[in-house]
Chains A and B, each alone.
Chain A
């Protein structure tokens, strides 16, 4: 072939300085390498020029802080002489008070150890389980009290059953309440009732959240409007000393209001004491009832003097006891005492005792009874009451079963009551704790987007807002600047 290739011939085709000349490829690379970083710089410079530090932000601020997004220096305060201008606790404390947790002073914990900012439009108060678990996964090591479960990692992991349901000393948990109530029976159709011959009660007939209107179906207006002299008590745990107080006042929809006789029971459970009267005894302390009865009979005999002649009912002579004379004529006082005793006997032994736990009084009858002022128009001084009045055990209704956690019935109103409180249908004893167990919660509250929130903060709170202090606001809205 005529065309031969030799090293020398090949080399002679090449310009010795070719590598110094740019090719389009090299030139493009050079200019792009210049241009792109320059663009980057320009961008930064432009942002800096417009005093927009948002570019440096490591993420968007949380929802409530969104307004601060352009004002980095509110948190990132610069201290003279220091390089770093990291956000510190002082930035938070400008606006916020962060009362300490429980009794344990955890002040060494910075706000950011739980509330991390620049994470996007998140709920900054929704702290991670791990924030709690820093201490609660090993509480002992953190000077915690030993009476709490001390190895909780999360709701799913090692969270104990609710305290109210936990057996104490081998004995199953009991409702400390003293009102005798057979939930199961109340949930069955009842043959008699205020509203008809056969009624079916629903939970709402008795139970309603605090903020809801009192149930009326089974209420009695007289009792509702009447004032009582006894005090509503709340069950144990409702005022535990180290229960942090919620920051926001309760809406009233969270917990159920205590079930009141006037609202829920009065329609069926009549406090009738004598057939002469079409009204019942007041739902009050025995002393008040006694006074009421005495007065009622006294007024009655005054109005019907003929009634002092008492005719024994023959039907009732079934005991073989020596019968009193068939017709007796009593003094009005005698009559009043007799009738009162009779009515009280009925009440104490039957009507009241059906629900309340009465114990014979060890007290003297010389108790000073103070009737409600507005009721005592004709207050008599009953210095000596012959009858022995019983003591009514306090109801001990537990209004808040979980003293360290918040629960909102309102948030759960999509459910029927019994879907959680299933035991209400079968509970015959008032000592049964009808609080649903943790497993019930866990059916919905579990990690993952398809489940309801299950992180600690959902039920528990950290800051004890009872210890809150007033913070003087230092933050002013930035003046609107132009179109920006």
Chain B
């Protein structure tokens, strides 16, 4: 035993029977690592502060108990055994305990087979733990677009927390709960998507198990080809908007973003297509337009005589304006600009992002974008978009663009605000706040103090009221709608709950500004008050109904939801199809009514738009062409792009898509038009142009009626349970 002199700052220890010299303050773990001995660990990462929570790295230091090597500093003369029977047994027991809580295989194991826990357990022969499984699930969090959270797979190693705090200094992640219910949490236990998480991906990269995994967009990858250039993570990190994002994370999402080059005249995207990507223009200009001719599908009643023609007559907008159409109305599209009614063309330039809604919510494209000059753009899937949107710099930039280009239109698009003076608009432009909400997130609760007024910029907001025993949806608001005025003008308390149905972006006008606006512009006030009163009355009525109507088949068939039902009295109906023919005759040979459906009592509730109070069809329309009139009927406006989402959403099958022959720009010969088949959604329009629904008018047997189910069936429902 030669006791050689140990240099200062160095310590000699015995490691598995080997004498080694290591710097002082080195942990046992690092000492072993330096000497080529691998100690298994789960909670420890080289770039993070060791915390020693997993205890898997225990070694026998000759002390009374085993010590966690990651946090145990070496001491002079320390005799460390890393692989004794006792140590291995302790590790196996630990692994068994952890595995008993682990959903095996976890998401990571499934995706890439690299779950650290499962790898270790397999190596230790502890894949089949002796212990009972956890009975209560801790839950999953799917709210983030980029990262999936599975609390069940979490082993509370805290690597993510340290990654977030220490490595990226975002301070989003933390610990929450005690003992069995302990887990990681974002902010104050918000869903990840709603939290202040910036989607840098560090936590996910850090996680040893399937608790935090990368969400790739299922089944979609952007095809890299000519004109589409893939990225390496390093390249991406050079771009300002990706500053601060985990390189590994970007690496994982490599297929989710490409840089594309478009030549002048190339079509970047077509309206009505389903897509899953967003575009960010780096260079060049692009023209955004709705190429579906915006024209009324016009029927000249019976003037066409006996011969029904399939082709429709389209009348140019300029010639024929519908009531309620205001000059300043705009068509909302999925970009930072809105399109003007009369001339639905706008221009996008560098720094503009479009296709956001398509990408985030899988809505169809709302407009066509064609390169005006050579365009370079990023095309990205929604995880990358999410990363971008979470980026503060980028957000700031987007905000700025929005304020500069669309906010004024947006405000003026609300008829009531048309009178605002330019200087006030300027003021608002600066003072409004853009807020984002994730699907399902509550914007305001019923009973909260009302402090702001909102305009919907993107997405759909559900306005609902709670009553004892349930929730009643009062309205779905979409782009261009506004809410919050009842609370502000009234008692200062929110009268209904507002919830984001999908990815929602709102323009928030603070209560102060709102009051200022109302004070300065009396027309705004009167307008708002009128609408508020109307809404209040309608809401009241609906609540009334909730209390009166028995819950039975009437409810099951959704009849209570309807404002107007087309019913056929089966005791009168001779099944002559006159109604269907009339409908087809009134609508260019296309019927909007199917004489089949469920029965209620002696009435057949025909398949025809019910003008639901809760119009699901309106949710998701990328161009907002399906909307409610002031008189509350649901109509499909002419700029429908035929995506079919409303038809899919309608629970009653009352919306159909039909091919219409329309004139569109001929791509081969500029300036010329050529006929093309375009799909358009159709639903019953109550024949508003003919005063009375044609089906009812044409029923020779007094069988068809358009009724308000509540009043029509009132007696029946009042008398007792219907069939």
Contacts and interface: CB of A to CB of B under 8 A. Distances in A.
Interface residues of B, number: 22
B650 A8 contact: yes
Contacts of B597: 7, 10-11
B607 A19 contact: no
A12 B557 CA distance: 17
B666 interface: no
Interface residues of A, number: 13
Contacts of A5: 598
A11 B598 contact: no
| Most chain B CB inside 10 Å of its own CB: which residue of A7, A10, A19 | A7
Nearest to A15: B594
Contacts of B590: 16
Given A8-B652, A8-B653, A19-B591, A14 B596 contact: yes
A363 interface: no
A7 B605 contact: yes
Interface stretch (B277-285, B369-377, B478-486, B577-585): B577-585
B651 interface: yes
Contacts of B651: 6-8
Interface in B645-685: 650-654, 656, 658
Nearest to A26: B577
A13 interface: yes
B653 A12 contact: yes
Nearest to A9: B653
A5 B596 CA distance: 11
B611 to A, nearest CB: 15
Given A8-B650, A11-B607, A11-B653, A19 B598 contact: no
B680 to A, nearest CB: 14
Contacts, number: 48
B442 to A, nearest CB: 30
B591 A16 contact: yes
Contact of A6 (B580, B598, B658): B598
Given A7-B653, A12-B653, A19 B596 contact: no
Contacts of B650: 8
Contacts of A12: 653
A92 B581 CA distance: 58
B591 A10 contact: no
Contacts of B558: 7
Interface in A430-462: none
Given A16-B591, A16-B656, A7 B598 contact: yes
Contacts of B658: 16
Contacts of A9: 653
Contacts of B607: 7, 10-11, 14
B600 to A, nearest CB: 11
Contacts of B653: 7-12
B324 to A, nearest CB: 29
Given A16-B590, A16-B656, A19-B591, A11 B577 contact: no
B596 A11 contact: yes
Contacts of A8: 650-653
Q: Secondary structure of the A side of the interface?
A: helix
Contacts of B598: 5-7, 10
A19 B656 contact: no
Interface in B553-586: 557-558, 577, 580-581, 584
B682 to A, nearest CB: 10
A14 B593 CA distance: 11
Interface in A1-37: 5-14, 16, 19-20
Contacts of A11: 594, 596-597, 607, 652-654
Contacts of B656: 16
A16 B679 CA distance: 14
A7 B565 CA distance: 13
B596 A10 contact: yes
A450 to B, nearest CB: 51
Contacts of A20: 584, 589
B26 to A, nearest CB: 68
B557 A7 contact: yes
Interface string A62-73: 000000000000
| Most chain A CB inside 10 Å of its own CB: which residue of B558, B584, B596 | B596
A295 B7 CA distance: 222
Interface in A341-361: none
B354 to A, nearest CB: 33
Contacts of A10: 596-598, 607, 653
Contact of A19 (B557, B581, B654): B581
Nearest to A8: B653
A467 to B, nearest CB: 65
A387 B591 CA distance: 127
B681 to A, nearest CB: 13
A11 B651 CA distance: 11
A363 to B, nearest CB: 103
Contacts of B580: 19
Contacts of A14: 594, 596, 607
Nearest to B610: A7
A13 B605 CA distance: 16
A14 B654 CA distance: 12
A7 B652 contact: yes
B473 to A, nearest CB: 19
A5 B556 CA distance: 11
Contacts of B652: 6-8, 11
| Most chain A CB inside 10 Å of its own CB: which residue of B558, B580, B590, B597 | B597
A12 B590 CA distance: 16
| Most chain B CB inside 10 Å of its own CB: which residue of A6, A10, A11, A20 | A11
Contacts of B605: 7
A8 B598 CA distance: 9
Interface in A377-431: none
Contacts of A16: 590-591, 594, 656, 658
Contacts of B581: 19
Given A11-B654, A14-B596, A14-B607, 19 more contacts: A6-B652, A7-B557, A7-B597, A7-B607, A7-B651, A7-B653, A9-B653, A10-B597, A10-B598, A10-B607, A10-B653, A11-B597, A11-B652, A13-B596, A16-B591, A16-B594, A16-B656, A16-B658, A19-B577
14 contacts: A7-B557, A7-B605, A7-B651, A7-B654, A8-B653, A9-B653, A11-B596, A11-B607, A11-B653, A14-B596, A16-B591, A19-B577, A19-B584, A19-B591
- Which A-B residue pairs are the 7 nearest by beta carbons? A8-B653, A11-B653, A11-B607, A7-B652, A7-B597, A11-B594, A19-B580
